[in-house]
A and B are shown apart, each in its own frame.
Chain A
């Protein structure tokens, strides 16, 4: 199949040759030859048994998989022989020779068969090689020789039913399938929980049964013996636990500190806002005061009112200047119309040069000076402290 060229395939197709049939015939012939060969040799009993075990298995398989073609059947019936060729058991000298011959006979066949197992459909012959590669995994067949499995089980099984005391085997099969309670296998928590509950159920059952049978179950407090994890190991685990706990605690503390810091900042901001608010309130008060004065001014002597007005005005102007809202409001300082026009046209006017240069006044101004800001770096710790830090 694999080895034939396209031209040959085309020829064969024209002649109507069925490769599968041909192959089957060939195999049947070979099998017959082999059987004859074997019959002449003395066969060990075990092999006979295998053959016997194998035969019903193959038929059972066929019943299960009716849709598979004949190639598969021949494969399963030969599988025992193949395996023995590959994995030699305690072979007697004459048999080893025999198996060698079989191996030679099988060698070329095995390559074909490995393909056959995976591609049961005969119409794959005309497929390109790449396509065939794609198809292989989907058409794989599973060997599941039920009768042989059951026979093997019978051979080795020890009784675990109610006829024997539970203490002989101590095995419990859970009531429900664990996989049903695991919706997603990669969800660690759910999966472990399912395993845990399965084991817990088994322990509950097993414990009651063991106690009923009078088997000592729980270890008395004064029974000391070697444990699976020795003391050093448990010590390590303990240290790890402590370390974890302390790390958690430290992290919590750090978080608390950070939160406090954040809170402190909030406090600062709120204080500033409060100050601003107080200032506004003061200004409002002044304004209302002024209005009241003005209302009163009609009644009281104008001179007095003027004096008060000026002082209040000044107060307001000071504040408004600082907030930078109303330059226009101080109407007395507005330049004349011509100057205004020129200001609009050429800008404010005046020199721009040396505007930022320092002078006697600015250098004398220490309002912005801050001792704290000058101290950028932390001072060098003392000798003893430095030593302590180095030894750490």
Chain B
């Protein structure tokens, strides 16, 4: 009975609140979790300074456990998120729906690590979709970037979207999902009242680049600041005069959209990015190219061997058949 009463009273109170404008409230909760295998192993690379890694550095062959750190970074930025233990299966992702329902979440941010080096990110709206699957690359966590920016834990970000997000329907769907997942809803439980960071989503090269900056306000003149303190209401207009600059906080990463499914972790595929080449394929190609070099050399060696054999230049090979014009025969 208590539950019934609660639900009734809740709906009542909800009715009262938004009745002024008649719009449903933006209520989001995100289940943040990863598959097993995000802490698989460490792979060392030559470059040590992450800022100077080339942007075309497409294998995340660096520190595999960074995937987990990224998850922690994101979780710290999302006060409306619920971080859960690692999910045990990679094939039965449908179970995530039940898990999300269990935690009252209507969004899922799922990190799927494969081979300890490739990271796929699933963004899903839980009860009935859609789901977007991304491939995550060029990942730098907050910890390793050494950026000086910082922000309140749980402050609401301003989300800055590239204009390209409005051009195509699949990008629009992605934008909506980003908005739900990374935008902290108004009045979220653990959110802080001030706005001090901005999250940027840009599209370049068919990929989505995500950056996170701190908003630092620099007063242009000291006198103006004093005025503002005196009369806050009047200062509201003037306040925009003060200079703003951004200081990056981190993390940085790039998402390549792969697939959009209509349902939540299921359903028909309604968008598929066929330009995407899987990292496995790239690795295999590189391996094959390397092998091809060796094979070419080996073939050359065999060819030379055969040629010499044919000319009778090898000690235990077949001798050349003597004809009557051979020197030894002619001057015998």
Contact = CB atoms under 8 A, between A and B. Distances in A.
Interface stretch (B39-47, B209-217, B306-314, B320-328): B209-217
A5 B297 CA distance: 35
B269 interface: yes
Contact of A177 (B21, B129, B164, B270): B164
Interface stretch (B1-9, B110-118, B188-196): B188-196
Contacts of B198: 199, 202-203, 206
A208 interface: yes
A168 B26 contact: yes
Nearest to A79: B268
Contacts of A88: 94, 266
A200 B246 contact: yes
B61 interface: no
B55 A186 contact: yes
A153 interface: yes
A207 interface: yes
A57 B270 CA distance: 9
Given A83-B269, A90-B94, A170 B158 contact: yes
Interface string A132-158: 000000001111111011101101111
Contact of A195 (B129, B179, B209, B271): B209
A212 B164 CA distance: 27
Contact of B55 (A152, A185, A208, A211): A185
Given A90-B94, A199-B213, A182 B266 contact: no
Given A150-B169, A152-B262, A178-B162, A210 B148 contact: no
Contact of B163 (A87, A164, A175): A175
Contacts of A80: 267-268
Interface in B126-167: 128-130, 142-143, 146-148, 150-154, 156-167
A241 B176 contact: no
B163, B203, B249, B270 interface centre (most CB from chain A within 10 Å): B270
A233 interface: yes
A140 B276 CA distance: 11
Contacts, number: 263
B323 to A, nearest CB: 42
Contact of A152 (B21, B130, B162, B195): B130
B204 A148 contact: no
B186 interface: yes
Contact of B152 (A54, A144, A200, A226): A226
B255 interface: no
Given A226-B152, A229-B142, A195 B211 contact: yes
Contacts of B125: 156
Interface string B59-101: 0000000000000010011000000000000000110010000
A98 B209 CA distance: 43
B199 to A, nearest CB: 8
Interface residues of A, number: 86
B230 interface: no
Interface stretch (B30-38, B236-244, B287-295): B236-244
B224 interface: no
Contacts of A150: 169, 172
A51 B10 CA distance: 36
A142 B159 contact: no
B163 A156 contact: no
A303 B114 CA distance: 110
A228 B75 CA distance: 10
B249 A144 contact: no
A144 B164 CA distance: 17
Contacts of A172: 158-161
Contacts of B193: 216
Contacts of B209: 191, 195
28 contacts: A50-B263, A57-B270, A83-B266, A83-B268, A87-B94, A87-B265, A89-B94, A142-B272, A142-B274, A143-B272, A152-B173, A153-B173, A168-B185, A174-B160, A174-B163, A178-B164, A178-B203, A188-B55, A195-B200, A195-B202, A199-B211, A203-B244, A204-B240, A206-B158, A208-B240, A225-B152, A227-B153, A228-B76
A-B CB proximity, top 5 nearest: A202-B160, A80-B268, A149-B169, A148-B270, A171-B159
Interface of A: 46, 50, 53-54, 57, 79-80, 83-84, 87-90, 140-146, 148-150, 152-153, 155-160, 163-164, 167-179, 182, 185-186, 188, 191-192, 194-196, 198-204, 206-208, 210-212, 214-219, 223, 225-229, 233-234, 236-237, 240-241
